[in-house]
Structure 1
Amino acid sequence: MNTTLRRTVVATAAVSIALGMAACGKAGSSNSSSSTSSASAAGGSGSGSIALLLPDNVTTRYEKFDKPLFEAKVKELAPNVTVEYANAAGSAQTQAQQVTTMINKGVKVIVISSQDAAAIKSSIQAAHDKGIKVVAYDRLAQGPVDAYISFDNYKVGQLQGQGLLQVMGAKATPSANVVEIDGDSADPNAADFKNGFTDAVKGKVKIAYDASGLWKPDVAAQKATAAINQLGKNNIAAFYSANDGMAGGIAASMKNAGLSSLPLTGQDAQLDAIQRIVAGTQSLTIYKAYKPEAEGAAQLAVDLLNGTDVKSVATATKTNASGNQVPSDLLTPVLVTKSNIKSTVVQDGLYSVSDICTGEFAAACKSAGLQ
Structure 2
Amino acid sequence: MKISTVLMASAVTLSAVYGASAAQAADTVAFLMPDQASTRYEQHDFPGFKAEMAKLCAECTVIYQNANGDASLQQQQFNSVMAQGAKVVVIDPVDSAAAAGLVEIAQSQGVKVVAYDRPIPNKPADYYVSFDNEKIGYSIAKSLVDHLKASGVKDGAGVLQINGSPTDAAAGLIRDGIHRGLKDSGFKTLAEFDTPEWAPPKAQEWAAGQITRFGADIKGVVAANDGTGGGAIAAFKAAGVKPVPPVTGNDATIAALQLIISGDQYNTISKPSEIVAAAAAKVAVQLAKGEKPEAKTTLYDTPSELFVPAVVTAENIKAEIFDKKIQTAAEVCTGEYAEGCKKLGIQ
| TM-score computed with the length of structure 1 as normaliser | 0.86
CA offsets, 1:13-57, max 9 Å, x none?
Answer: xxxxxxxxxx996xxx54365554559xxxxxx921100000001
The alpha-carbon distance between structure 1 residues 208 and 38, as it changes in their structure 2 partners (threshold 3 A), is farther
Q: CA deviation at 1:75?
A: 0.8
Match of 1:289 among 268, 272, 280: 272
Q: CA deviation at 1:90?
A: 0.5
- 2:138, 2:211 → 1: CA distance? 25
Indicate yes or no: 2:175 matched with 1:194.
yes
Match of residue 226 from structure 1: 209
Q: CA deviation at 1:347?
A: 2.3
- 1:218, 1:327 → 2: CA distance? 36
Alignment of 1:1-371 (within 5 A): 30-31=11-12, 35-36=16-17, 47-141=26-120, 142-168=122-148, 169-203=150-184, 204-214=186-196, 215-231=198-214, 233-259=215-241, 260-311=243-294, 314-319=295-300, 325-371=301-347
Q: CA deviation at 1:350?
A: 2.0
Q: Which amino acid aligns with 2:161?
A: E
- 1:267, 1:304 → 2: CA distance? 30
CA offsets, 1:263-290, max 9 Å, x none?
Answer: 0000000000000000000000011121
Q: Which amino acid aligns with 2:84?
A: K
- 1:35, 1:128 → 2: CA distance? 28
Q: CA deviation at 1:240?
A: 1.4
CA offsets, 1:205-238, max 9 Å, x none?
Answer: 110011112211100001100111111x221111
The answer as to whether partners of 2:8 and 2:66 remain within 8 angstroms in 1 is: no
The answer as to whether partners of 1:172 and 1:205 remain within 8 angstroms in 2 is: no
The answer as to whether partners of 1:135 and 1:146 remain within 8 angstroms in 2 is: yes
CA offsets, 1:331-361, max 9 Å, x none?
Answer: 0010000111111121232210121110111
- Secondary structure at 2:193 match in 1: strand
Higher relative contact order (CA 8 A, sep 6+): 1
- 2:13, 2:178 → 1: CA distance? 33
The alpha-carbon distance between structure 1 residues 210 and 171, as it changes in their structure 2 partners (threshold 3 A), is farther
Percent of pairs with identical residues: 36
Q: CA deviation at 1:192?
A: 1.2
The alpha-carbon distance between structure 1 residues 134 and 284, as it changes in their structure 2 partners (threshold 3 A), is same
- 1:345, 1:154 → 2: CA distance? 22
- 1:31, 1:87 → 2: CA distance? 10
Q: Which amino acid aligns with 2:119?
A: L
Q: CA deviation at 1:165?
A: 1.3
The alpha-carbon distance between structure 1 residues 283 and 154, as it changes in their structure 2 partners (threshold 3 A), is same
Q: Which amino acid aligns with 2:155?
A: P
Q: Which amino acid aligns with 2:133?
A: N
The answer as to whether partners of 2:322 and 2:346 remain within 8 angstroms in 1 is: no
Note the residue ranges of structure 1 that are not aligned, 5 or more in a row.
1-22, 40-45, 320-324
Q: Which amino acid aligns with 1:158?
A: Y
- 1:235, 1:202 → 2: CA distance? 19
The alpha-carbon distance between structure 1 residues 188 and 36, as it changes in their structure 2 partners (threshold 3 A), is farther
Q: CA deviation at 1:119?
A: 1.1
The answer as to whether partners of 1:265 and 1:285 remain within 8 angstroms in 2 is: yes
- 2:307, 2:73 → 1: CA distance? 29
Q: CA deviation at 1:170?
A: 4.3
Q: After superposing the two structures, state which structure 1 stretch, 242-251 or 107-116, moved more.
A: 242-251
The alpha-carbon distance between structure 1 residues 71 and 360, as it changes in their structure 2 partners (threshold 3 A), is same
The alpha-carbon distance between structure 1 residues 34 and 202, as it changes in their structure 2 partners (threshold 3 A), is farther
Aligned length: 333
